[in-house]
Amino acid sequence: MTTTTTPAQPRNGVDVPTLFATIDAVKGDPEIAAFQFRVRNEWLSGTHSRSEYHDFFGAKQEMAHEQVTVVESDHPRVLVGADHAPTPVEYLLHAIAACLTSGIANVAAARGVTLTRVSSTVTGDIDLLGILGLSDHVRNGYQQITVTFHIEGDADDETLRAIVEQSRRRSAVYDALTNPTPVHIEVVPG
């Protein structure tokens, strides 16, 4: 098992000294931690829409990503869409995989573990009787989501499992899915 007393150094592509310095900076000024993420979405046709990511707020200032990212969603033809892009619910699966994976890389680096592979498959089981309005007993969302990680690095199985567990404990997306998140909807007609 790799020692955790190695001096902080970049590992797994994570700049560990800067990560620790950032956490110290937030400790000294918790207001830095108030972030707001944003997306703008435009309906295109049918079930097809497009979102753009650019700006966000954080560290007490307006900020922007280094590039604009565009993503789209649609329904597949079996659900009467044109299948231009993944469905909205499929983006939840990317979100949970990516959030846990970034946490795994950070936690491993902080613990002095060098990773050589982290891959995952995510499945989401959903019964469309809910969204089709055909059952009052079936929920609209996923019945369950399962994330299966394959993880390799210079540590024993127990250490690798503990890294995944710590990532789960601090995952924003895991929390957003497993606990209720307030969603407010405002409508400006006309």
Site for its own copies in 89-148 (CB under 8 A): 89-106, 115, 117-135, 139-148
Q: How far apart are CA 163 and CA 57, in angstroms?
A: 29
Instruction: Identify which of residues 4 and 161 has a Cβ nearer to its own copies in the complex.
Output: 161
Nearest distance from C-beta of residue 3 to its own copies, angstroms: 19
Q: How far apart are CA 177 and CA 142, in angstroms?
A: 10
For the four alpha carbons of 106, 166, 173 and 141, in that order, the dihedral sign comes to positive
Nearest distance from C-beta of residue 69 to its own copies, angstroms: 5
**Considering only residues 1, 4, 6, 34, which one is a binding residue for its own copies as defined by CB under 8 A?**
34
**Considering only residues 2, 8, 59, 154, which one is a binding residue for its own copies as defined by CB under 8 A?**
59
**Considering only residues 1, 4, 37, 114, which one is a binding residue for its own copies as defined by CB under 8 A?**
37
28 binds its own copies (CB under 8 A): no
Q: Phi/psi of residue 67, each to 5°? A: -145, 160
Nearest distance from C-beta of residue 124 to its own copies, angstroms: 5
Chain position carrying tokens 């979405």: 41
Nearest distance from C-beta of residue 5 to its own copies, angstroms: 19
Q: How far apart are CA 95 and CA 15, in angstroms?
A: 23
Q: How far apart are CA 126 and CA 141, in angstroms?
A: 6
Cα radius of gyration rounded to whole Å, the chain: 20
**Considering only residues 2, 8, 71, 154, which one is a binding residue for its own copies as defined by CB under 8 A?**
71
Instruction: Identify which of residues 7 and 43 has a Cβ nearer to its own copies in the complex.
Output: 43
6 binds its own copies (CB under 8 A): no
Q: Are 162 and 155 in contact (CB under 8 A)?
A: no
176 binds its own copies (CB under 8 A): yes
23 binds its own copies (CB under 8 A): yes
Q: Are 177 and 122 in contact (CB under 8 A)?
A: no
> What residue type is 168 in one-letter code?
R
